[in-house]
Amino acid sequence: MPNSVKATISLVVILTAIAGYYFMDHHGQVGPKYTALFLGAFMVVSMWLFPEVMRKKIRGEVKEEPPMGL
């Protein structure tokens, strides 16, 4: 995944986690507001830390194409 796409997704996830934090805080929820922040930070860190899985083509393997139309 290109770095620009990762940065955009990271920004969206961070903004969503912050919005979730304020939403839960507004409703008086203590535990869930910290969970929203933690999960947002965890998702961003794990996206940057762990590489995307790239499947190697096995010798003799034929790629199946999805059927066209219904």
pLDDT tens for 17-50 read 999 999 999 988 888 889 999 999 999 999 999 8
Q: Would residue 56 count as lying in a domain? A: no
Q: How is residue 49 written in tokens?
A: 């830390």
Share of residues in the chain with pLDDT > 90 (%) = 54
Q: Would residue 41 count as lying in a domain? A: yes
The CA–CA distances, whole Å, from 4 to 13, 15, 41, 48 equal: 14, 17, 18, 12
Q: Would residue 65 count as lying in a domain? A: no
Q: Would residue 19 count as lying in a domain? A: yes
Query: Under a CB-based contact definition with an 8 Å cutoff, are residues 40 and 17 in contact?
Result: yes
Q: Is the pTM of this model over 0.85?
A: no
Domain that holds residue 33: 3-49
Q: How many separate domains does the chain show? A: 1
Vertex 11 angle, CA 23 and 32, to 5°: 30
